[in-house]
């Protein structure tokens, strides 16, 4: 049952709704636009709130549903995490886009919310605390870093029963998110002069090869243009 649900979660979460919406509404390939991420934030940059909102809801919901379906099927906590994390992997490395997808933050949040709505809310608030400073990626890094710590030390307060298992699961979610940032692909020309260590640090903290956000988002000649 775990295997079947994990495969189903991967396939469903691999459906590139963000990519399809941007392509159908604006003729834009998100992989060649803005941040290059196939997710709701890049849909917002490429299209509008009208289209980004349903994409965000879909990305969040599929993380929640992956866990809930596993729970309804009678699987124990560890197996629920396995199904949820495989779903996140489907979003990050979708089979339908040659394994180049989004960062899976909303899908990860959905998995977290399925286990503890309060913990998910706290992590969300931490992540968005730096949004006014246009450092959302750094805020997400901090939120993910604190996720397993919060799950362990405040398990009772957050309504988490299986402390060790849930802490391990939350640690795995953080690890998958960090891995997706670090394995973002080849080095950009803008980072040609950076050392490997600085490149990886920029990816881990800021989710881009260089620290300059404005330069990073405008690096592609296709940015803001329809892709054909």
Contact present, 59 and 18 (Cβ < 8 Å)? yes
Angle, CA 183 vertex, CA 188 and CA 222 arms, to 5°:
40
pLDDT exceeds 50 at position 225? no
Residue 121 confidence class, pLDDT cut points 50, 70, 90: very high
Q: In whole angstroms, what is the distance from residue 164 CA to residue 152 CA? A: 7
Residue 226 confidence class, pLDDT cut points 50, 70, 90: very low
In this prediction, residues 144-153 reach a mean pLDDT of 95
pLDDT exceeds 50 at position 223? no
CA 151 to the chain's CA centroid: 19
Residue 215 confidence class, pLDDT cut points 50, 70, 90: confident
Contact present, 36 and 97 (Cβ < 8 Å)? no
Q: In whole angstroms, what is the distance from residue 49 CA to residue 46 CA? A: 10
**pLDDT tens, position by position, 177-189:** 999 999 988 888 8
CA distance readout (Å), 185 to 115, 163, 209, 220, 221: 32, 35, 10, 15, 18
**119, 83, 68: which is closest to 11 by C-alpha?**
83
**pLDDT tens, position by position, 4-52:** 999 999 999 999 999 999 999 989 888 888 777 888 888 988 888 889 9
């Amino acid at each position: 049952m775990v295997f079947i649900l994990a495969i189903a979660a991967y396939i469903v979460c691999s459906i590139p709704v963000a990519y399809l919406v941007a392509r159908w509404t604006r003729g834009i390939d998100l992989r060649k636009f803005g941040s290059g991420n196939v997710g709701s934030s890049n849909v917002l940059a490429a299209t509008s709130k009208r289209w980004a909102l349903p994409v965000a809801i879909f990305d969040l919901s599929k993380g929640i549903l992956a866990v809930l379906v596993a729970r309804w099927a009678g699987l124990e906590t560890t197996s629920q995490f396995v199904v949820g994390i495989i779903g996140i992997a489907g979003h990050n490395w979708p089979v339908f886009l040659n394994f180049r997808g989004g960062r899976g933050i909303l899908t990860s949040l959905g998995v977290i919310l399925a286990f503890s709505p309060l913990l998910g809310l706290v992590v969300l608030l931490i992540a968005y605390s730096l949004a006014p400073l246009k450092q959302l990626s750094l805020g997400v890094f901090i939120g993910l870093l604190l996720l397993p710590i919060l799950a362990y030390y405040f398990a009772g307060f957050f309504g988490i029963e299986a402390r060790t298992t849930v802490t391990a699961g939350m640690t795995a979610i953080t690890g998958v998110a960090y891995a997706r940032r670090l394995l973002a692909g080849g080095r950009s020309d803008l980072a040609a002069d950076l050392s490997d260590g600085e490149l990886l640090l920029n990816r881990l903290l800021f989710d881009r090869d260089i620290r300059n956000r404005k330069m990073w988002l405008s690096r592609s000649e296709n940015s803001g243009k329809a892709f054909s």
